[in-house]
Amino acid sequence: MRKIEHQAFLLLLVGVTLAFAWVLWPFYAAVLWAVVIAVIFAPVQRSLLAPMRGRRGLAAAVTVLIIIAIVILPLALVTASLIQEASGLVAKVQSGEYDLGSYLQRMLDALPAWATGLIERFNLTDLATLRERLASGLLKGGQALAPQALSFGLNTFDFVIGLGIMLYLLFFLLRDGGALAERIKEAIPLHANQKTALFATFATIVRATVKGGILVAIAQGALGGIAFWLLGIHAAMLWAVLMMFLSLVPAVGAGLVWAPVAIYLLSSGAVWQGVALILYGVLVIGLVDNLLRPFLVGKDTKLPDYVVLISTLGGLKVFGPNGFVIGPLIAAMFMASWQIFSGSRPEDQTGS
């Protein structure tokens, strides 16, 4: 009888948990980023406890204000500038002020003979066809731009609600996160060493993903944007953000943006600008990852590049922009769980 009651209670527990997750799903991004930011800024909140005489609520409130000042407000300003530059660039391309076909021809003319032969082998030199495809793509992009902009305006209220939920939840996670983590740890039906290892892995991977991934990508995008701005390239902010996103994906990187621009500068007669951009891209932008990532993350927490690549792309496919964090996090927890399982099997065998 007790076994039936226990199974019934477990079924009820699973049911209400899934129902609660279903209720929270519309705001899963707000919950996700509240947890991520709380994990990252928890040391800041703890450092404020001593000067604030142990008042956890006040320390959490000050930490939230710091996050708003150094993260949210700059991000809002960058987003506004990005939207303005993107709309201006699309308008110039659609009006014909920027002739992508001529730019492409200059880049092809500047390539070495072996690269030109490789492109001809794949029949990629038909500029008429490429122009038609570019025009068709721009037309579709222009047709999709207005509805997206309208949708963004209509969803502003939802965005504000999500931001408010994230900040509200962030405050309580900073204030009571330690006690909440202990309660969750006690409720998980695992061995104590397994729970400790999983929680430590979760916190480490969250910090590694954000600090070692997003911060390095921001640094590379910012350095690339500064170079584009100094060289007088239009929409430097837009290209900086594009380089930042590409830097998040291993084996892709910001070189997909600055390398074609350097080739165009060389083909258009701006030789020293093109050479300077190549040197800057290789020696500065390209080395940021190797220099900053070990400093921010540490060597022990870095996932293999192929795992990061697959999990990031898969996370983007399933979860959208939030997949940049969710994908590598799931991959890291997957590897850590199997590592703990494989490490505990000999102990279980010897104990039996």
Higher pLDDT pick, 127 / 228: 228
Mean pLDDT of 255-276: 83
| Res 144: pLDDT | 46
175 and 247 inside one domain: no
Number of domains the chain is built from: 2
Return d(Cα 346, Cα 247) in angstroms, integer: 41
User: What token pair was written down for 80?
Assistant: 């506004």
Domain presence at residue 350: no
| Res 314: pLDDT | 87
pLDDT (tens digit, 9 = 90+) per residue, 13-29? 889 989 988 988 888 88
Mean pLDDT check: name the lowest of 120-124, 184-188, 227-231, 344-348: 344-348
Report residue 68's pLDDT band, with 50, 70 and 90 as the boundaries.
very high
- Whether residue 315 contacts residue 323, with contact meaning beta carbons closer than 8 Å, is answered with yes
pLDDT (tens digit, 9 = 90+) per residue, 171-185? 999 998 888 878 877
Domain termination residue (choose one: 164, 187, 210): 187
User: What token pair was written down for 186?
Assistant: 């006690």
| Res 152: pLDDT | 46
118 and 200 inside one domain: no
280 and 193 inside one domain: yes
| Res 150: pLDDT | 44
pLDDT (tens digit, 9 = 90+) per residue, 72-122? 888 888 777 777 777 776 676 666 666 655 666 666 666 666 566 656 665
Domain termination residue (choose one: 187, 222, 252): 187
Domain termination residue (choose one: 169, 187, 205): 187
Domain presence at residue 77: yes
109 and 200 inside one domain: no
- Whether residue 337 contacts residue 198, with contact meaning beta carbons closer than 8 Å, is answered with yes
| Res 250: pLDDT | 64
| Res 315: pLDDT | 86
